[in-house]
Structure 1
Amino acid sequence: MLRSAAALVLGVLLIPAVTFAKPAKHRPKKPRTTESAEWAKTPSAKYGALSKAACLTELKQRKIAFSEVSAAAGVLAPVRLKGPLSGVVFRTEAPEAERQKSPHEVYDCRLVLALHDFGAILKAKGVEEAILFSAWRPPPKSWPTGKLATRHPGALAADIRRLIFAPDDQHRRADLVVERDWTPKRDTPPCSGDVSPDTKDAKTLRSIFCEADEKRLFTVMLSPNYDSAHANHFHLEVTPGVKWRLVL
């Protein structure tokens, strides 16, 4: 009887371990690409290595209109854009009054430099506005004072969902929408294989993404191919202090 009871207790103790173990297929499997010895010369690496002072100086030299943000937890050099980048307006779809105070339109200066380069690619395609979900997403209130964050909590990433072209002769404005014009192919490198759907818009959207990849403007570039959470936007990120890139 004692042996049976002990076996029952042991079985109960083991159940949670079996029940809550994650299947191997759900573990992270996204590959990072190690950069060559020339990695430090790429735009994303150079921008990521800048100090706050050096970055702000570069913004001024490029004649980028911006204002500094006095305090933004986790962000090295927080700024707000006061004008376009390479002729392209980067903004959320919030009302103008909200945009001026929204945390989602706070950027780390280093990300702005990468977006300025990206704006030149967009402008060459006729794009006038880049619509994003967010840049900065404030870290928890418990975030330690002075500690820098990465990705969105560090204002080092922007989620672009839609690109709007300049008006045509009939004053109509065409657009590219990531969710509409990109068919996800999970875990497939986005700059290889056939474009889907087979449309002009889809090909233009792919060419924009892949030109930014080729020029190494961002450390991390996630398309709808990455996972379902990215089905409706491009995640574009500058990651300081690393020698790898992730493009998927």
Structure 2
Amino acid sequence: MPSRLRLAVISSAALALALALALTGCRSADLSPSDAPSPDGAVRVVEPAAPDAGVEPDAFVPPVDEPSVRIDSPSDGAVFVQDEIVEGDWAARVTFSVSASDVARVDVWADDDFLLGDVVDGALTYWFRGEGLRRIAAIGYDAAGVELARDEITLTVEPPGDTSCHAMLDALGVDWEAAGPTRGIADPVRVQPVINGVAFRYVSRSEPTAMLMDCELAIRLSRLTEVILPYGIDELIHIGIYNYRCIGGGDPDSGTCTPSQHAYARAIDIHAFGLAGTGDTYSTETDWVITRRADECPIDATGDKDRILKEIACTMWAEGIFQIVLTPNYNAAHRNHFHVDLSEGSMYLGQGVS
């Protein structure tokens, strides 16, 4: 072949190779000597070298989950109104729904320093009795108690529109009606005899009957039912509520004696408690065992019935359901009942005899 023609063929082959490299994004500098065109214009393709034996490519490493906590509800800035009664106070019920991952436990705190409780099965319910703006934090911890993650919101607790005693009776579900003006009673109401599933019956009657009392006493009796229901009690047998008289007898209007809280319908004398479905009772007259004076709890007890009566007496006092709690230990006049009342400024457990 003439030299000019041979050079033209070689040049054409080189040009074609260069064009192919440009289209594939390769650079001529990336070619090894063996990739260069041969003198006859052909291009030799060299296969890439196989990796060395025993060398594995990099294994896939899955991403590591970070510990997380999220308050799913309520939403940030939510407002709750106090519309329930808890231990005699208005309260707003708030249920926190919390999701978390890679933490041992989650606690919910209010205002940085008050523990509301632990999250169980993704939820926690708390009743707020204080009003105003509350800062809430859900904090996730490891097994050693070290904080790993948190989420925060704010919520506002507002008081009810009506904070009266009557509104509180409605919130408690008490069946009541206003009574007419009655001497000595500041806020007279007539309450139907079943409160929170407990029937209130006067000792000499076979059936429960409606009760005349001050509105505040009705609230306290509702609280009392929460104390006695866990014992299986569904009946409270009493000796009386309203009696316009002085302590030990006499006319309050005489000015010569101290009016009893019965004169204001702010006291009740409890004789016994009835057990649901059994016809049995816990009687202050027959089951309470008199002990020596010791005006503090717990009170020495003998037998289950005596113990339960004394536990109820101590709980009524310790939880502030009543300001005065006099037991059969107090004196001969109280051997067959608990006298409990709402004497303002008092907090006395009179349960011992000298």
TM-score (norm 2): 0.47
- Computed over aligned residues only, the root mean square deviation of the Cα atoms, in angstroms, reads 2.6
Structure 2 unpaired stretches of 5+:
1-86, 90-162
CA pair 88-98 structure 1, distance change in 2 beyond 3 A: closer
- 1:176-215 maps to which residues of 2 (within 5 A)? 176-189=282-295, 191-195=297-301, 198-215=302-319
SS in 2 for 1:152: helix
CA pair 153-69 structure 1, distance change in 2 beyond 3 A: same
SS in 1 for 2:347: strand
Which residue of 2 is the match for residue 130 of structure 1?
Answer: 236
Is the CA contact (8 Å cut-off) linking 2:326 and 2:334 kept in structure 1?
A: yes
Structure 1 Cα separation of the partners of residues 223 and 208 of structure 2? 27
Structure 2 Cα separation of the partners of residues 150 and 194 of structure 1? 29
Q: Which has the larger radius of gyration?
A: 2
2:177 partner amino acid: S
State the identity as a percent: 23
2:199 partner amino acid: V
Q: Does 1:93 align with 2:203?
A: yes
Number of residue pairs aligned between Structure 1 and Structure 2: 183
Structure 2 Cα separation of the partners of residues 200 and 98 of structure 1? 27
**Deviation per CA, 1:129-187, whole angstroms, max 9, x where unpaired?**
1010000002478849xxxx6510000000000100100xxxx3211000111122353
Structure 2 Cα separation of the partners of residues 156 and 113 of structure 1? 11
1:115 partner amino acid: L
TM-score (norm 1): 0.66
Q: Does 1:162 align with 2:162?
A: no
Is the CA contact (8 Å cut-off) linking 2:242 and 2:264 kept in structure 1?
A: yes
1:161 partner amino acid: H
Higher RCO structure (Cα 8 Å, ≥6 apart): 1
Could you say which structure has the higher strand fraction? 2
Could you say which structure has the higher helix fraction? 1
Which residue of 2 is the match for residue 227 of structure 1?
Answer: 331
**Deviation per CA, 1:28-78, whole angstroms, max 9, x where unpaired?**
xxxxxxxxxxxxxx859xxxxxxxx81111111211001221021100111
1:155 partner amino acid: A
Which residue of 1 is the match for residue 3 of structure 2?
Answer: none
CA pair 87-68 structure 1, distance change in 2 beyond 3 A: same
SS in 1 for 2:286: helix
Which residue of 2 is the match for residue 245 of structure 1?
Answer: 347
Is the CA contact (8 Å cut-off) linking 1:73 and 1:143 kept in structure 2?
A: no
Which residue of 2 is the match for residue 217 of structure 1?
Answer: 321
Structure 1 unpaired stretches of 5+:
1-41, 45-52
